[in-house]
Chains A and B, each alone.
Chain A
Amino acid sequence: AQKVTQAQTEISVVEKEDVTLDCVYETRDTTYYLFWYKQPPSGELVFLIRRNSFDEQNEISGRYSWNFQKSTSSFNFTITASQVVDSAVYFCALSAGGGYQKVTFGTGTKLQVIP
């Protein structure tokens, strides 16, 4: 069985602060994929990043960075110098196991960036 835990329900930061969103996952599969999605107030989920279980290299994309650590089963997401436009609900997701693409989503972390 797969499980994704996003323990932080809501986070508030002041603009320009850095913020890290935590994601802890559980799976027995050795091959799996992790994702982050953003759901802005407008409601439509948008894909941010995919990481496979064999690639533990951290990734940076502009102000966004992701830290994948298999040893702790974590895939954390950091926003540097946060902006008001970063305010959204962020979901971590796991795809593992089975002969098809079953995806398990976390419950999401609501980020509010205060100007």
Chain B
Amino acid sequence: GAGVSQSPSNKVTEKGKDVELRCDPISGHTALYWYRQSLGQGLEFLIYFQGNSAPDKSGLPSDRFSAERTGGSVSTLTIQRTQQEDSAVYLCASSLGRRSYEQYFGPGTRLTVT
């Protein structure tokens, strides 16, 4: 497909388990973003990638959160030892990289920690 894809679309996990969320950006987009959106809330910035580098990790809530990007394409957001407060929709977006460009968002992964 031509858009940003994310998998899984839904994930239910038990507290304390690790989860991996995947994002496939639009081909050719060098910039990739992860956001978190809690129910009825705005977008909370988590991390930004330019190519495979993450110049801004300032939004990661704790050291249980990590992300990587390989080949300038697919990105994985990992949450270790999940907590109930991690329950949210995790959104991925990509763009052509320069600040003038709009972001294209994926459908999100809804994470529920029980």
Contact = CB atoms under 8 A, between A and B. Distances in A.
9 contacts: A45-B93, A45-B105, A46-B105, A47-B102, A47-B104, A95-B99, A103-B45, A103-B103, A107-B42
B1 interface: no
Interface in A19-46: 33, 35, 37, 43-46
A67 B98 CA distance: 24
Contact of B42 (A47, A52, A95, A108): A108
A92 to B, nearest CB: 10
Interface centre among B33, B43, B101, B108 (most CB of A within 10 A): B43
Contacts of A45: 91, 93, 103, 105
A57 interface: no
A50 interface: yes
Interface of A: 33, 35, 37, 43-47, 50, 52, 91, 95-96, 98-108
Interface of B: 31, 33, 35, 41-43, 45, 48, 50, 55-56, 89, 91, 93, 95, 97-108
A35 B103 CA distance: 10
B13 to A, nearest CB: 20
Given A43-B107, A104-B45, 18 more contacts: A37-B105, A44-B105, A44-B107, A44-B108, A47-B104, A50-B100, A95-B99, A99-B55, A100-B31, A100-B48, A101-B98, A101-B101, A102-B48, A103-B99, A106-B42, A107-B42, A108-B42, A108-B43
Contacts of B98: 101
Interface centre among A33, A44, A50 (most CB of B within 10 A): A44
